[in-house]
Structure 1
């Protein structure tokens, strides 16, 4: 799995247990082929007639790296792979793939939770790992909007509920990129603007948040709670956060907000970011409180993942990079995130060792930092 001729210390560092600082629960129910294929595709649409989502980098990776974990030969055809998956059952498939990932701690985005998804505790149990909860702030906002009767109650309840749920969390997270885009005015909105937007919001509270003034208020309220409790604020950008348009998921659009937040000292963790990983690397380089991963881009780019990770390593400080699988719904994405992280980082380390730029001790130390050490420090694990 790793490049040959790596020093033993570097190989050991790459194979050491990881901290998956950004993942989701995986499905506990049995999946038909149609449902499985939909989950292979971030767009959530069926493949065109006569084609299959197995003919993607992620689909090929499932057949190559997940098939052996389930007791099949590498590159097992899709029908054989799915037949074996059904034979084992979802619980056993999840157990095998989560444990094969070599993760010592899962930090799980729990919102929106569903009965078909494993909880944070169940992810930890299935993977024989520790687990922590990452609270999604938009889910809190949705809950408050559906309960509040008037705008003033909405504002008061939102702050209280953010603080209450943060008490059990290791981090707060926003998916505002997929709702309003990241190009929001970075300034705190006025109370009048928030009240007016809240009145519009409460007219149809079951709809997802789409009011820019409320999105800004929610971000700043979350930042206040994160500062008070010493928590990081995760911001999903790029792949998987593009509902508002891919151009609006570029983390560079956050520069004003990041700069405004710097005096508060709240760690900002940029998640996934693909195809904007270079912009994210620049932000991590330029601002002391910004951290970054490439998340689910590792599994979705498959054999191309070394180039993606290499672009982070070009500029982002090594103590600012984290490992996160970004896994969601399919346990395969958890295992593949770990596989391609180790392969991609191994290739980058070998290139630098071969060029004489780093010593073996440097390479091993950096592998330990990115794989687990940075996350343990940032999330105070």
Structure 2
């Protein structure tokens, strides 16, 4: 089904260098939510989809072996292979989180492309998502210490709001629904600065979130089960949009919350049939969540498109909606809602 230009509302950069079989499989396993060595990552639905959709973009037949595929990848070189895969994904606009979510860190992180590099390789537009953890780091780098930390955070947030289309927050670090008291924030900032910024401080995260909401940009909330966030969602009613980015299997719960709160949106997830049954169509957005491997952008786009085509095709066949309705629904989820809430047509983008 043809839709308007596709917006990936949350993803990351891709790796720079050539990859061996073991390294490639490790990153593929990480994308599936588990460590390498627990079974072949190729022997999964994602692995099968990769072997179906990615080889033709590199000039190989579908379903070729992993060894042959990676040999072709190395033959082309990392940049040329990434360029072909990203440009073949069908994504028109990327919203890029340059940070590494805390839950995804395994101590073996490798540098990935910056936002401008991703836009150049993909030959399209890319916008920044400003991670609140990184904003706190910018504030700390100003060197004012605890005494000026709140002021430094405000200045860092203001700077981030000028260049980014949204903020990103790790919701696992949030404990209280309301903004913390200033004295509590100062104590948390002191502990955080003293330990070299290595520990999570819920009061500091809460302060960052509420200060970010005051900037007026949407805030994406990384979460596992979003149900514990209900008090926060209730407390933030009437403020900037919140977009839930849950992990499997919690997309259905996120969709229900998007239906319950006017300012809350949710990721459509890997099973649109489930989330579209729980939320108004205009409250759901597509993302790949891809990091490290450009193949993941291709795979997740194809899986999403096939799932939507199958679902909306069934609705049309059964007389539940017209073709015009189906196209409108697909347009909203694929990019229309993202362009509206992130104001993408008004914000500067890095382009390739």
The normalised TM-score by structure 1 is 0.83
Please name the residue that 1:232 is paired with. 218
Q: Once superposed, what is the RMSD of the aligned Cα atoms?
A: 2.0
Q: 1:34 maps to which residue?
A: 22
Compute the displacement of 1:234 (Å): 0.8
Shift of 1:142: 2.8
Aligned to 1:376: 339
Segments of 5+ residues of structure 2 without an aligned counterpart are: 102-108, 345-352
Residue deviations 1:249-274 (CA, integer Å, cap 9, x gap): 2111111111111122x011112442
C-alpha contact 2:98 2:129 (8 A) present in aligned 1: yes
Alpha carbons 1:172, 1:234 under 8 Å: kept: yes
Displacement of 1:53 after TM fit? 2.2
CA distance in 2, matches of 1:147, 1:83: 46
In the alignment, the residues of structure 1 paired with residue 78 and residue 5 of structure 2 have an alpha-carbon distance, to the nearest angstrom, of 24
Inter-partner Cα distance in structure 2 for 1:198 and 1:206: 9
How far 1:371 sits from its partner (Å)? 1.0
Shift, 1:210, TM fit = 1.1
1:348: Cα distance to partner? 0.9
Mapped contact 2:142–2:152 kept (Cα < 8 A): no
Work out which of the residue numbers 85, 88, 93 in structure 2 matches 1:97.
85
Question: Equivalents in 2 of 1:271, 1:260: separation in Å?
Answer: 19
1:276 aligned to 2:250?
Answer: yes
CA distances 1:37-94 after superposition (whole Å, capped 9, x unpaired)? 111122563214xx42222332222112112211222211111111111111111111
| Mapping of residues 11-160 of structure 1, within 5 Å | 11-13=1-3, 16-42=4-30, 43=33, 45-48=35-38, 51-111=39-99, 116-145=111-140, 147-148=142-143, 150-160=145-155
- 1:153-194: CA deviations, max 9, x gaps? 2222112111112211111111243xx3x5x21111111111
How far the C-alpha of 1:146 sits from its partner, in A, is: 5.3
Note the residue ranges of structure 1 that are not aligned, 5 or more in a row.
Answer: 1-10, 238-248, 299-307
- What TM-score do the two structures reach when normalised by structure 2? 0.89
Report the CA distance between 1:143 and its aligned residue: 3.6
CA contact (8 A) 2:281 2:333 kept: yes
Distance 1:70 1:255 in 2: 45
